[in-house]
């Protein structure tokens, strides 16, 4: 019988994150869910906890490889890669890492707004290429403070974004499944009416099947020619084809994106656009926040293996 209780799954784990987990518990590592079946069956029979990081689907087929599996601890707040229904049906708990990353993701959302509206990528290129001295100023751009902003999904991250933009004197609108108690922000029951009311549409929804294509072609078109789409949630939450069509045709003013449908091999149509600011899904990617996420994941593994209540359960 193996004494390995923990499976660390995900090639995007940094070495220090892997070390932190495997120092705490005897662990085995695989690159992704696709490699789980290749583990020796005696080893698989001893695994009680999985520490997961990544976006590859982790479903019933993989869960059934581990007869003693009791918890899947996800590194990240978004657990759309994990089939939570299948986990619950097998009495497997799922945990995530909420709250500790909300500041970083909200900072990036506001950063994308400012970078897009104030043409900061163009400004940087103008300085770096020494065209400034030869050609003078870049064209005037667009003010962010005081603009109207629509937050799609006023959850933990959505609220942090709204709080920051309220300090920028923005007019805050939002949509979500239910109306919230807010300091005078305007609720819209659907995303089309939200888009009609604002210039910046900031998407902070959960991912997964239920929110796929939530921001529809109609919603993107409702934004109009001054409209900017900011997405820090998941690529799936927007009709990406419709977004690309609108950006190419100049039907909206631009976009600031951290997430895409087919990461990291994003649609090459994005690369030809000069009205977008593109980031490589780095919303929570500061040293401080990733450390906090890794610690919270480990705290969930530890709680489970000690038989204590999970810190941040999902199901
Ligand atoms: P949260 O607190 O659970 O908020 C999620 C929001 O989505 C809520 O407003 C919720 O509406 C809404 N929502 C959920 N299901 C919905 C549905 N079926 N239809 C419409 N709206 C729905 O989550 P969070 O902590 O703010 O995180 C949000 C997401 O950000 C994560 O799930 C993840 O995908 C993404 N994220 C991205 C990065 C990055 O690196 N870019 C980092 C962290 C997280 P209600 O308020 O009505 O419940």
At residue 112, the pLDDT reads: 99
Report whether 78 contacts 206 (CB < 8 A).
Answer: yes
What domains lie within the chain, and their CATH numbers? 6-98+288-305 (3.40.50.720), 102-278 (3.40.50.720)
At residue 3, the pLDDT reads: 84
Rounded CA separation 123/116 (Å): 11
Rounded CA separation 248/267 (Å): 13
Instruction: Tell which residue, 49, 57, 10, has the closest CA to residue 26.
Output: 49
At residue 101, the pLDDT reads: 98
User: Does 10 sit in the ligand 1 pocket, CB within 6 Å?
Assistant: no
CB neighbours of 209 closer than 8 A, spacing ≥ 6? none
In angstroms, what is the span from residue 156 Cα to ligand 1's centroid? Answer: 7
CA angle 146, 149, 152 (to 5 degrees): 165
Active site residues: 234, 263, 281
In angstroms, what is the span from residue 180 Cα to ligand 1's centroid? Answer: 14
At residue 2, the pLDDT reads: 74
Instruction: Tell which residue, 290, 288, 308, has the closest CA to residue 300.
Output: 308
256-284 per-residue burial string, b: 16 or more CB within 10 A, e: under 16: bbbbbbeeeebeeebeeeeebbebebebb
Instruction: Tell which residue, 170, 169, 215, 161, has the closest CA to residue 193.
Output: 215
User: Does 303 sit in the ligand 1 pocket, CB within 6 Å?
Assistant: no
Torsion of CA 238, 239, 240, 244, to 10 degrees: -120
* Max Cα-Cα span within the chain: 73
Ligand 1, atom nearest to 180 Cα: 46
In angstroms, what is the span from residue 174 Cα to ligand 1's centroid? Answer: 13
Angle between helices 287-306 and 15-24 (to 10 degrees): 20
Question: Would the pTM count as exceeding 0.75?
Answer: yes
At residue 1, the pLDDT reads: 57
Please give the chain's pLDDT, 315 residues, in tens. Answer: 578 899 999 999 999 999 999 999 999 999 999 999 999 999 999 999 999 999 999 999 999 999 999 999 999 999 999 999 999 999 999 999 999 999 999 999 999 999 999 999 999 999 999 999 999 999 999 999 999 999 999 999 999 999 999 999 999 999 999 999 999 999 999 999 999 999 999 999 999 999 999 999 999 999 999 999 999 999 999 999 999 999 999 999 999 999 999 999 999 999 999 999 999 999 999 999 999 999 999 999 999 999 999 999 999
Rounded CA separation 50/304 (Å): 11
Mutate to test the pocket of ligand 1, among 182, 206, 282, 312 (most ligand atoms within 8 A of CB): 206
User: Does 32 sit in the ligand 1 pocket, CB within 6 Å?
Assistant: no
At residue 16, the pLDDT reads: 93
């Amino acid at each position: 019988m193996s004494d390995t209780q923990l499976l660390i799954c995900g090639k995007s784990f940094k070495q220090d994150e892997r070390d932190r987990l495997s120092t705490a518990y005897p662990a085995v590592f695989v690159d992704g869910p696709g490699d789980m079946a290749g583990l020796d069956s005696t080893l698989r029979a001893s695994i009680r906890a999985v520490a997961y990081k990544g976006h590859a689907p982790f479903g019933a087929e993989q869960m059934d490889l581990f007869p003693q599996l009791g918890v899947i601890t996800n590194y990240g707040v978004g657990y759309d890669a994990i089939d939570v229904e299948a986990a619950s049906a097998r009495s497997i708990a799922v945990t995530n890492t909420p709250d500790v990353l909300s500041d970083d993701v909200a900072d990036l959302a506001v950063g994308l707004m400012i970078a897009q509206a104030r043409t900061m990528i163009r400004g940087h290129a103008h300085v770096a290429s020494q065209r400034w001295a030869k050609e003078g100023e870049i064209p005037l751009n667009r003010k962010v403070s005081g603009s109207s902003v629509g937050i799609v999904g006023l959850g933990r991250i959505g609220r942090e974004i709204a709080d920051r933009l309220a300090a920028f004197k923005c007019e805050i609108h939002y949509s979500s499944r239910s109306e919230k108690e807010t300091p005078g922000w305007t609720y819209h029951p659907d995303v089309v009416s939200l888009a009609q009311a604002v210039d910046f549409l900031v998407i902070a929804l959960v991912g997964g099947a239920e929110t796929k294509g939530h921001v529809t072609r109609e919603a993107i078109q409702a934004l109009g020619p001054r409209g900017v789409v900011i997405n820090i949630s998941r690529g799936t939450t927007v009709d990406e084809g419709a977004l690309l069509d609108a950006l190419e045709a100049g039907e909206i003013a631009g976009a600031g994106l951290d997430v895409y449908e087919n990461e990291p091999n994003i649609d090459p149509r994005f690369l030809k656009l000069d009205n977008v600011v593109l980031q490589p899904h780095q919303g929570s990617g500061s040293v401080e926040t990733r450390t906090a996420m890794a610690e919270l994941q480990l705290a969930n593994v530890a709680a489970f293996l000690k038989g204590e209540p999970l810190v941040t359960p999902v199901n």
